[in-house]
Copies of this chain bind each other. A is one copy, B any other.
Amino acid sequence: MSKSKRLMELMMAVNRKRKFTVKELAQEFGVSSRTILRDLQELSELGVPLYSEVGPHGGYQVLRERILPPIAFTEDEAVSIFFAVHALRHYASLPFESESSAALSKFYYYMSGDTRDRIDQMKNRVDFVTPERQISAPYLSILLDAAIQQKVLLIDYESRDKRTIHDIQPIGIYSRNGLWYCPAYSFHHQEVRTFRCDRMHSVAPSDMEALDLSHIHLENREVITRTDQEHIALYAELTRKGVKMYEAEPWPVLNMQTREDGSGWLEGKILTSDIPYFASFFIGLGHEVTIKEPSELLACIQSTLSELMDKYG
């Protein structure tokens, strides 16, 4: 193997391992230790941040930065990466250390001139918008950490009507439409609930013993948690226009089906406690929706309407 090839592979190897010894690499590459030492010095000169310690359990390490070996990206790939990261700028809070803008400028800086030109042209023409919020969610990384390490947290939470302090065991966090949510097992409610991260006034480690929820994560939490709660079937007809309106603002739990003529219907099971929200929602759809069931929803809509008539009458 030629030296240059070995250097490239060496670069990948030291990236893969966090720690390694000269002897180890010498055997792996089938060259002498002396050669590896010389190679490592050369890598060092090329910018790979190597650090070494002598003595037993000593060895080499790659510091802070990890050098990615020459990755081949197509221009399109580079462009999509750029815009994906660029879209993160809309977020007031992120669960990472948020050095993504640093990453972005590095990426941008190393791109070939004409790819950069293309990006510059596109910069003001494409965007992934997320509503800009004043609200910040400072505890994202703590929550994420707890979810990964299966730890219990004590939170001071302000819900719609009251403020309580209780223990939760986070399952994960996700952002939707600019807000961060945290599905978590609530020891107080004895079930999985979703909390708004910006409504947490404080988050601290708790002494409580964690449950084994490692098999529950963001993708499957609904399947698992939606068993022992009060659900009720919903069925509603949509006009052609109603279909379009619903498409613009769908609810994850309601499944929409369309017919050939453009009309359609909604089916799904909803939480009884969510009925008031669905009531507002369907009122917004006006004549374009006709609710068949549940009757509880119809009743709720009627009472909401008559209250509103009093207000606006």
Contact = CB atoms under 8 A, between A and B. Distances in A.
A223 interface: no
Given A244-B160, A283-B283, A72 B98 contact: no
A4 B42 contact: yes
Given A112-B18, A127-B174, A308-B305, A97 B72 contact: no
B125 A218 contact: yes
Q: How many copies does the complex hold?
A: 2
A294 interface: no
Contacts of A302: 312-313
A23 interface: no
A95 B82 CA distance: 13
Interface string A127-154: 1111101110000000010011000000
A67 B72 contact: yes
B284 A110 contact: no
Interface residues of A, number: 112
Interface in A4-58: 4-5, 7-8, 11-12, 15-18, 42, 46-49
Contact of A113 (B17, B113, B114, B134): B17
A18 B287 contact: no
Interface string A78-121: 11110111011000001111111011001100111111000001
Interface stretch (A204-212, A229-237, A248-256): A248-256
Interface string A172-202: 1111110100000000000000000000000
Nearest to A83: B96
B305 A286 contact: no
Nearest to A113: B16
A108 to B, nearest CB: 11
Nearest to A250: B131
Interface of A: 2-5, 7-8, 11-12, 15-18, 42, 46-49, 62, 64-81, 83-85, 87-88, 94-100, 102-103, 106-107, 110-115, 121-122, 124-131, 133-135, 144, 147-148, 160, 171-177, 179, 217-219, 241, 244, 247-250, 252, 280-281, 283-287, 298, 301-302, 304-309, 311-313
